A = this chain, B = another copy of it.
């Protein structure tokens, strides 16, 4: 069981992370993944706006603990052979990857469900905050989304 969790300013190499996980255990039959990317537009105060950069702040120490707890609870729910969670912080440009979640299992259903679960809980429990800079130079904190709370709540039902 390989668990790799990192919070970093540097970009990550998705392909290398996938290869490392795939090679770690011969019981792995499938790896589900999610890569979150800085979108070029977002709903800001009820209207669509162009985004130029995104800055991610976090709570050092608690972030890593929160991610470890989320991964642990995924491992209790599904038969996983490995999990990778890498989350970037600092200033990111349009199109850059923000987060990588990889879940490896013998069968794909478990891998998919665990990957969705980790993303859903991460979105509501891991202490990261996004601030957007618009092309006119103004900045604003991104509001939490109701749909993220709903997505997380479905795992408690």
Contact = CB atoms under 8 A, between A and B. Distances in A.
B36 A33 contact: no
A31 B32 CA distance: 11
Number of copies: 2
B30 A18 contact: no
Given A14-B15, A22-B97, A97-B22, A34 B31 contact: yes
A31 B119 CA distance: 12
Interface residues of A, number: 37
A41 interface: yes
Q: Is the interface of A mostly helix, strand, loop or mixed?
A: mixed
A18 B35 contact: yes
B22 A37 contact: yes
A40 B22 contact: no
A48 to B, nearest CB: 10
A33 B18 CA distance: 11
Contacts of A35: 18, 22, 30-31, 33
Nearest to A35: B31
